[in-house]
Amino acid sequence: MISVLNLEHQYREGGFSLSVPELVIEPAQSVALIGPSGSGKSTLLNLIAGTIPCQQGQIIVHGTRVDQLSEAEKRRYRVREIGFVFQELELIEHLSVRENILLPFLINRAAQFSATIEERCLVLARNVGLANKLERRPNQLSTGEKQRVAICRALITSPTVILADEPTGSLDPSTSLEILDLLLQQSADCGASVLVVTHDHSQLNRFSRTIDMKTLNRK
């Protein structure tokens, strides 16, 4: 479960501020975050992930007080609890599809690689239709295929929370729905809560809950 209480965050430049009195997201719940640009959607994701510091309030993810963690503890927390699908995908061009999926284990000592992880990589790739492309480089893939790699990478550590920042924003409508359904299905299979930032309101019926940042943010 994700619990946010009395959250306050403000950027020194630009005058943006985020104020969330209370937010609770249940385990395995799929949530769409909507609202205009600058309403705090991406900021909320990054606060939950611990990639930006919490200035005031409590953020609790499956019993962990994220707002009280040191930087080293936050890195371990992200490996253990968080899968992130970035808006720009952040694939490494000189690495293969397989290596990109396994990236959390290549760059973080807190993630312990094993034969079980290798098998999970193969299963995830097979589930999203990439089983025959594991040795290709990102520049040999379509945009939709790159998106599938990013989904597998987010899921490879078996996280309890998946955070996705406009994961289908660069795709055509048909591919967009296909990728979103894959993300939600694969996340459901591992029992993860999912928070997805989206501007596409035609996708909202795919989620169990929609949160409008204009209503959530009290500033």
- Residue range 130-186, pLDDT digits in tens: 999 999 999 999 988 998 999 999 999 999 999 999 888 778 888 888 889 989 998
Q: Is residue 170 part of a domain?
A: yes
On whether residue 18 sits in a domain, the answer given is no
DSSP secondary structure of 175-218: HHHHHHHHHHHHHHHTT-EEEEE-S-GGGGGGSSEEEEHHHH--
Q: In the chain, how many domains are there?
A: 1
Looking at the predicted structure, is the pLDDT value of residue 210 above 80?
A: yes
Q: Kindly state whether residue 3 falls inside one of the protein's structural domains.
A: no
Q: Is residue 7 part of a domain?
A: no
- Assigned domain for 54 exists: no
pLDDT in tens, 82-133: 999 987 778 999 999 999 999 988 887 767 778 899 999 999 999 889 999 9
CB 179 within 8 A of CB 166: no
pLDDT at 219 over 70: no
Element (H, E) at 24: strand 17-25
* pLDDT tens per residue, range 29-70: 999 999 988 889 999 999 999 999 999 999 999 999 999 999
Mean residue pLDDT of the chain comes to 90
SS3 50: coil
In a domain, 52, yes or no: no
Separation between Cα atoms, residue 170 and residue 144, nearest integer Å: 9
Task: Answer left, alpha or beta for residue 195, where phi above 0 means left and psi between -120 and 50 means alpha.
Answer: beta
User: Residue 190's domain spans which residues?
Assistant: 26-42+70-216
Asked if residues 149 and 100 have their Cβ atoms less than 8 Å apart, the reply is yes
Q: What is the CATH number of the domain that holds 171?
A: 3.40.50.300
Residue 139: inside a domain: yes
Alpha-helical segments (H) within 82-198: 97-101, 103-107, 115-127, 143-155, 173-189
216 pLDDT tier (thresholds 50, 70, 90):
confident
Query: For position 171, what pLDDT does the model report?
Result: 81
| 64: its two tokens | 């962990």
**Is 55 part of any domain?**
no
3-state helix, strand, coil in the chain (%, to 5): 40, 20, 35
